[in-house]
Structures are given as structure tokens and as C-alpha cells.
Amino acid sequence: GESVGLHLPTLSVQEGDNSIINCAYSNSASDYFIWYKQESGKGPQFIIDIRSNMDKRQGQRVTVLLNKTVKHLSLQIAATQPGDSAVYFCAENIRNSGGSNYKLTFGKGTLLTVNP
């Protein structure tokens, strides 16, 4: 089965608030994680990534936190804007069984709605 999942399928916030989207993963061997944003009618768009040798990484208005102890990943969006409304996916790179190939496995996604 899939090893990446999300706690909250939907999240509604007020414009200007901070948003936190959570993700749990079960493959302790995963060494690379990505957050994607998917707007309606578009493909997933890369937001930020983090490698397993880090526990925090910051981008512009976004921060990803990685807790390997409890296999938890979160995406924090500061000062959320209406343009942030989208489905957010966490994804992990899992090594294919028996080989050196990796596949990007996605979680179920969280729909973020930003109210003006």
C-alpha cells in the first residue's frame, strides 16, 4: 500500500493567517521529500523539498519541517493568500524494491481554501 498520507483532507483559513499542512510517511528509508501545489486544471508544481539529513528548510513564505523520529512532514505557509488556494501534496522518493531506481510516491492531498 501507499506509505504517504495526510491527516487533513481539507483546510480552510483566512487570508493573512498562517497555514500548516501535515503529512505522515511510513518508509523510514526515504531520504528525500517534496511538497507540490496543484491548482485546478493544472499539473503539480514544485514548492519546496527537503533531504533527510535536514529537519527544516525555508523558502519564500514556505517552510518544510521533517521529523524523522515520528515520520512526519509539514508545510507551513506564512501570510496565506487567496492565490495559495490549491491541493497540496507531500511526496517521498522511495527506492524501488531490489534496485537503484526511485519512484516519487504521493500522499492523498489536502485542499487548502483561503477565504478573503
Partner 1 sequence: DTAVSQTPKYLVTQMGNDKSIKCEQNLGHDTMYWYKQDSKKFLKIMFSYNNKELIINETVPNRFSPKSPDKAHLNLHINSLELGDSAVYFCASSHGRNRGKNTEAFFGQGTRLTVV
Name residue 78's amino acid: A
The correct pick among 22, 90, 106, 114 for binding partner 1 (CB under 8 A) is: 106
**Does 29 participate in binding partner 1 (rule CB under 8 A)?**
no
Minimum CB separation of residue 42 from partner 1 in Å reads 6
**Does 31 participate in binding partner 1 (rule CB under 8 A)?**
yes
* Nearest CA-CA partner of 70 in 115, 25, 10, 21: 25
Minimum CB separation of residue 101 from partner 1 in Å reads 5
C-alpha cell of 110?
Answer: 489536502
**Does 25 participate in binding partner 1 (rule CB under 8 A)?**
no
Nearer to partner 1, 105 or 113 (CB): 105
